[in-house]
Amino acid sequence: MFREEINKYEMFRYIDRLNSCNNFGDIFELVRDVVYRILKRRRSGLTLYLQDLDAYILAYHIVGSNIIVINKTVLDFLINEVNDKEKLNAYTFVVLMHEYLHSLGFYDEAFVRELEYKIIKEAFGEDHITTRLVGRNLEDIFNEISKLKFRRPTYEYKIVRDFDRSSTTYIL
């Protein structure tokens, strides 16, 4: 399935790009680039929502739509408690890649996890935090997350602006 291997120089470039990302749009552009480089597949026109959900739901893609939803509660918690840009960018990258793969038509959860692991390992190397995050229980990486298990979600949401830049043909 992989069409092209990534050399060490490119791997370090991807790591540097991820570490320098400052928002969802930056991270999503990197997700799209990595997936295209390896699978030669892409899509545009996606919209990102942040929604207050139960802690066990990290994100989801609505099949047949252009919507990706990330759990705002988990994200806010990690931003406030972890306060480590490298880990936060890695987490966001992994979650966005997983849902992006679903949006490309890969729906089997086990297959997507395996594909995601292979792509991220190829792009970032086996020891990078992104690779270690794939398919893992968040509590293994972020111990503090267990504090969220007993809260009630509101299910409120907000749209993230400047997310999928490939579909923007004008300036707002």
Asked if pLDDT for residue 170 goes beyond 50, the answer is no
What does the pLDDT read at residue 130? 93
Q: Alpha-carbon distance 164 to 82, whole Å?
A: 26
Per-residue model confidence (pLDDT) at position 171: 47
Strand partners, 159: 49
Q: Greater confidence, 36 or 5?
A: 36
CA distance 127 to 137: 17
- 49-101: pLDDT as tens digits: 999 998 888 899 999 999 999 999 888 888 888 788 999 999 999 999 999 99
Q: What is the pTM of this model?
A: 0.88
**Predicted confidence (pLDDT) per residue in 92-140, tens digit:** 999 999 999 999 999 999 999 999 999 999 999 999 999 998 877 666 6
Q: Provide the H-helix boundaries in the chain.
A: 8-20, 24-39, 72-81, 85-103, 109-124, 129-133, 138-141
C-alpha–C-alpha distance, residues 42 and 105, integer Å: 10
Residue 149, pLDDT above cutoff 80: no
Reading the block at residue 120, the tokens are: 């991220």
Cα distances from 156 to residues 75, 81, 91, in angstroms, run 14, 22, 22
pLDDT at 74: 87
Listed range (6-10, 20-24, 48-52, 97-101) with the worst mean pLDDT: 6-10
